[in-house]
Amino acid sequence: MYSLKEFWHLRNLPVPEGEWDGNVICIETNAEWTFGTNETRGFLSCYTFTIVTRGWVTILYNKRELTLHKGDVYLYSPGLEVIVLAASDDYSGICLLGDEQFTLELPSVHDSIRATYLSVVVLEHPQLTMNNEDYRHVFELLQLALRYQKSSLPNANESLRMLYSIFLNDLTGMMERTISEHRFPKRVEELFLGFMHLLPRHFAEHHDIGFYASELCITTTYLSRIVRQVSGGRTVIDYINQLLLMEATYLLRQTSLSVAQIAEQLHFAETTTFARFFQRMKGMNPKEFRKRG
């Protein structure tokens, strides 16, 4: 998948003042910019938070159609394909993006895992409708992020990263007020986050639950139970397969690698095994998918 910096250069978008580390960026969006994100079809290894400031936009997210209006925040986590279906002519928003690994390593993220409701870990609640007070608060934070991004101050990049951490912490609090509180023991939360750290680094090579359980020094049964419990029913294999599908889709669309080479790169035992996996997940075989572009 594309890193945040690769995505930014692909879209020929302006980068912050000074030397940008590629961890956090903020941008004002409109209908044209939003439709342009279909070019990457969600192949983005970063977390994205978009607040709608005017108009509306309709997206297809994990096979669910969502329409967002002013006051809504849309939360994207890596690993799911997202397609913008429609937007009003006056649509506008502010989008805050954070690199995947940078986000997961933030102390504020580690300390604020909240059951199935933390947006940067779980994908069941991609949309949050805010009250007027929360909307103004989030709007002001993102306006401040935009100002830091344009600032020539020597520490502006660091301030932007700190503001991103504050944003995540505040957003988590808003989500907890909106959705019924359900807390898990600290050990369970730490193991789940540990799994989420391992997944993007090892999913291509390790498709089995045993590897992740071994790395976390727990049994496969316990890891399965934790993931189901915290994610609201998703399994370890669900997470692995989703990332395998996204990477396969990316390689088919963005590279000239043969189907056999992609199967080998993703550590499938045989090309036919990969083809069956892709057919089951996508509803067509890899060659058909590549032809459709």
Res. 287: pLDDT tops 80: yes
195 to each of 137, 211, 255, how far by Cα in Å? 32, 10, 29
Res. 48: pLDDT tops 70: yes
Res. 208: pLDDT tops 70: yes
Whether pTM exceeds 0.85: no
Q: Mean pLDDT score of the chain, rounded to an integer?
A: 84
Side-by-side strand order, sheet with 72-76: 24-30, 92-99, 46-54, 72-76, 127-129
Q: Which CATH number fits domain 186-292: 1.10.10.60, 3.30.365.10, 1.10.10.10, 1.20.950.20?
A: 1.10.10.60
How far is it, in rounded angstroms, from Cα 273 to Cα 283?
A: 15
In which band, very low, low, confident or very high, does the pLDDT at 180 lie, cut at 50, 70 and 90?
very low
How far is it, in rounded angstroms, from Cα 25 to Cα 37?
A: 15
Sequence ranges of the domains in the chain: 4-178, 186-292
More confident of the two residues 154 and 208:
208
Please tell me the class of the 4-178 domain. Answer: mainly beta
Q: Which of 95, 101, 8 is nearest to 46 (CA)?
A: 101
The H or E element spanning position 59 is strand 56-61
Strands 92-99 and 64-69, how do they pair?
unpaired
Tell me the pLDDT tens digit for each residue of 27-37: 999 999 889 88
Tell me the pLDDT tens digit for each residue of 4-47: 888 787 777 777 666 788 889 999 999 998 898 887 766 677 88
Res. 115: pLDDT tops 90: no
Percent of the chain whose predicted confidence (pLDDT) is above 90 = 41
pLDDT at 18: 65
How far is it, in rounded angstroms, from Cα 85 to Cα 57?
A: 8
